[in-house]
Amino acid sequence: MKITDIPITKLHPFEGHPYKVLDDGEMDDLTGSIRENGVLSPLIVRPLEGTDEYEVISGHRRLHAAERAGMQSVPAFIYEIDRDEAAVLLVDSNLHREHILPSEKAFAYKLKMDALTHRGKTSRQVGEKWSVAQVSEAANESQRQVHRYIRLTKLIPDLLQMMDEGRIAFSVGVELSFLNERQQRDVLDAIDLNDCTPSYSQACRMHREAATITAERISEIMAEEKPNQREQIRLRREDFRKYFPANYTDQQIARDIMCGLDLLKRQRSRDRDAR
């Protein structure tokens, strides 16, 4: 297939694509590489109907880095496909990236399922069942897990971000997704008030009571002391967040803190032995 140089001004992100393009350390590295070597891996794009412009299917991060590097055009493969075919290709080309946030996977699975369902010629119910099976096979995930990820698209953005940051477990996010938007905002208020996130058990109870649960009931559930929160040392995130890359999750921060404490312990042991 022929590679074509396309002016950046004629390229547009895929509308509603699920993958985040962040100005973080990795983007700085990619920008530096492109500034020095150019875009080594061509983008994949499709023509926008009735125009001489294109929609990006694969390569959103490379496109952003090229813009930051001051490039005027980028190499690309042009695929003559419709939006549904493009959506499937977009998701499949990113499924096996090393780092994919839960929210990215959730909206990617939904995007592909909707595209496959739209292309089908059966009823929506049958089409969705077939589509989930296709998503499951390509992603090497069970159909139940695909459904659980798609449930996450029902979370309000604040809760979804907390899950991406590792502050809320995946299973907790799935249970909270069964609450309506007002109830989810009540959960968010209770998180701020109690300075803690719901456990899986608490989230399940909220899910079971979703038809009638009130803000007062959510606050009552959240105020209960959880066994894993007793006798904890509390640190404010803003006090130590500055020491880590912007794209670090809470799990990565916790890992590095424990590694640092282990090094400190060994250093103190060596100092004692040297006396």
114, pLDDT greater than 70: yes
pTM: 0.72
Question: Which of 52-56, 121-125, 204-208, 258-262 has the weakest average pLDDT?
Answer: 121-125
146, pLDDT greater than 50: yes
Please tell me the distance from the alpha carbon of residue 170 to that of residue 201, in angstroms, as a whole number. Answer: 13
Please tell me the distance from the alpha carbon of residue 56 to that of residue 76, in angstroms, as a whole number. Answer: 9
pLDDT in tens, 122-144: 445 555 677 888 888 877 889 99
Mean pLDDT score of the chain? 87
In angstroms, what CA-CA distances link 46 with 54, 59, 129?
5, 12, 28
How confident is the model over 47-53, as a mean pLDDT? Answer: 92
pLDDT in tens, 67-105: 999 999 999 999 999 999 999 999 988 877 778 899 999
Question: Which of 12-21, 85-94, 114-123, 200-209 has the weakest average pLDDT?
Answer: 114-123
pLDDT at 230: 47
Please tell me the distance from the alpha carbon of residue 27 to that of residue 4, in angstroms, as a whole number. Answer: 24
Q: Return the CATH number of the domain spanning residue range 1-80.
A: 3.90.1530.10
Please tell me the distance from the alpha carbon of residue 132 to that of residue 150, in angstroms, as a whole number. Answer: 10
pLDDT at 11: 97
pLDDT bin (cut points 50, 70, 90) of residue 231 is: very low
Share of the chain above pLDDT 90, in %: 60
Can you point out the beta strands (E) in the chain?
3-7, 11-12, 43-47, 54-58, 73-78
253, pLDDT greater than 90: no
How confident is the model over 104-133, as a mean pLDDT? Answer: 77
How confident is the model over 35-64, as a mean pLDDT? Answer: 94
pLDDT at 134: 86
As a whole number of Å, the CA-based R_g of the chain is 23
pLDDT at 8: 96
Are the beta carbons of 80 and 46 closer than 8 angstroms?
Answer: yes
How confident is the model over 223-247, as a mean pLDDT? Answer: 67
pLDDT at 270: 79
112, pLDDT greater than 60: yes
Q: Count Cβ atoms below 10 Å from residue 137 Cβ, excluding itself.
A: 11
Return the SS3 of 76: strand
Are the beta carbons of 192 and 158 closer than 8 angstroms?
Answer: no
Strand order in the sheet with 3-7: 3-7, 73-78, 43-47, 54-58, 11-12
